[in-house]
């Protein structure tokens, strides 16, 4: 049965990877790329063929459907996954391959001599002797998140026995700010008691705590003048931005923090002699510390404005997503059932505070508790992303077990 399931998952995963669906952060449309419509249409057609009810595909490439249950008193549960793959400057076209890892370095692409070196990626060592899915090294693998799409679709095909109603949602543009999940109408499209995302890493990982996140943009306006007569007149917006950045702790940045430590990350600037636009990401697990970081940005903006009175500093801050744990109240079923499923399947749980966000963070902000569990993949957003097939199977088995436990 496990071998059959592994083959079923792998072939479906390959088929979904053949549909390019990379998102584009520079786009202002939803979805951000037309290719995501093709992925959404494929899923909607398959869901109809599988006999699901209330299959809806909208103009935003969001697909929802309901698998009717036979336990009317059971809670109504949901699974949400995203259909876009990330743009990190690699090819948008994914060419998957399955290799057996013997413990030695693996050549992913003989033509371009792209190798996964074990010394550089020791995270692969626990999977010696296993079949593992990789890209050809020219792209990400796309297990983030088409492995999860595969798990949910295969579950919709295979699930039998006693279960309640199950609602599934496939949304675009998670990789560029959870845009699809934020636009999802919970009342008309995803009306469930609780739900899960499947969008994190290695076997056993469970996430019900993630960053609170916000984005800041600081606009510096200087004063232009010819340098021959610039003394006392010229205000350089690049130096304004430099002075702004220098007011923040260099050790509270992504490259110097881990675990539950937060940061402010200055990650983009466009500038000329007249103006500069600086962008920053604000991250913290603790709501009070999150608010304090925003206040620090505001205080420094005022400080720089005072230092350059003939220039100006304009700051805007917008929240991106929030910590899933903010939504945990008296009803912890979504969290507790994950641990019960892992125990039943003899999988050791690895609870991590996710230094990022998932679609579940957007739904939890709407008061729908939506924790997250593993796909089994490693090295998301990298050309060395890989997915051990036995872990892929375990992800499916957890999703299946959750359906039965919820209906119990």
β-pairing, 275-284 vs 263-271, is: antiparallel
| Candidate list 174, 202, 205, 385, residue with the active-site label | 174
Q: From the CB of residue 95, how many other CB atoms can be counted at a distance below 10 Å?
A: 17
Q: At what angle do helices 2-17 and 143-158 cross, to 10 degrees?
A: 130
Question: Which residue in the block uniquely carries the two structure tokens 């008309």?
Answer: 188
Confirm whether 174 is a catalytic residue: yes
Q: At what angle do helices 287-307 and 237-246 cross, to 10 degrees?
A: 140
| Cα–Cα nearest to 202, from 25, 379, 74 | 379
CA distance 22 to 93: 9
Of 84, 275, 284, 385, which is the active-site residue? Answer: 84
User: How would you classify the pairing of strands 312-321 and 97-100?
Assistant: unpaired
Active site residue 84: yes
- Which conformational region is residue 165 in: left (phi greater than 0), alpha (psi within -120 to 50 degrees), or beta? beta
CA–CA dist 118, 111 (Å, integer): 20
Q: How far apart are CA 354 and CA 368, in angstroms?
A: 18
CA distance linking residue 408 with residue 406, whole number of Å: 6
Nearest to 35 by CA among 52, 51, 25, 23: 23
Write out the catalytic residue numbers.
84, 174
């Amino acid at each position: 049965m496990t071998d059959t399931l592994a083959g079923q998952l792998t072939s479906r995963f390959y088929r979904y990877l053949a549909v390019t669906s990379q998102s584009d952060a520079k786009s202002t449309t939803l979805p951000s790329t037309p290719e995501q419509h093709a992925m959404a249409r494929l899923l909607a057609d398959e869901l109809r063929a599988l006999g699901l009810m209330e299959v809806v595909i909208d103009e935003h490439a969001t697909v929802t459907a309901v698998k009717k249950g036979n336990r009317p008193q059971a809670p109504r549960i949901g699974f949400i996954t995203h259909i876009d793959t990330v743009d990190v400057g690699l090819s948008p076209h994914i060419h998957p391959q399955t290799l057996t890892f013997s413990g030695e370095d693996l050549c992913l692409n003989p033509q371009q001599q792209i190798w996964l070196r074990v010394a550089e990626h020791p995270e692969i060592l626990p999977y010696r002797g296993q079949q593992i899915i990789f890209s050809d090294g020219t792209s990400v693998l796309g297990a983030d998140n088409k492995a999860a799409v595969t798990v949910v679709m295969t579950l919709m095909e295979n699930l039998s026995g006693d279960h309640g109603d199950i609602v599934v949602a496939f949304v675009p543009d998670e990789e560029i700010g959870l845009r699809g999940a934020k636009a999802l109408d919970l009342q008309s499209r995803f009306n469930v008691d609780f739900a899960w995302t499947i969008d994190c890493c290695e076997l056993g990982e469970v996430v019900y705590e993630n960053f609170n996140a916000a984005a800041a943009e600081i606009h510096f306006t200087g004063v232009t003048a010819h340098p021959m007569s610039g003394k006392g007149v010229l205000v350089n917006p690049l130096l304004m931005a430099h002075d702004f950045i220098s007011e923040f702790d260099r050790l509270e940045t992504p490259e110097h923090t881990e675990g539950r430590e937060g940061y402010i990350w200055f990650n983009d600037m466009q500038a000329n002699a007249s103006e500069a636009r600086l962008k920053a990401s604000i991250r913290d697990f603790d709501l009070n510390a999150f608010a304090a970081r925003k206040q620090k940005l505001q205080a420094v903006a005022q400080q720089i404005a005072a230092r350059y009175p003939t220039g100006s500093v304009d700051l805007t801050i917008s929240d991106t997503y929030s910590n899933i744990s903010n939504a945990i109240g008296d009803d912890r079923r979504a969290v507790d059932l994950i641990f019960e499923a892992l125990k039943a399947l003899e999988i050791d749980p690895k609870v991590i505070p996710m230094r990022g966000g998932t679609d579940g963070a957007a739904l939890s902000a709407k008061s729908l508790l939506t924790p997250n569990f593993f796909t089994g993949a490693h090295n998301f957003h990298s050309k060395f992303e890989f997915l051990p097939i036995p872990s892929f199977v375990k992800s499916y088995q957890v999703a299946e077990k959750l359906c039965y436990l919820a209906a119990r």
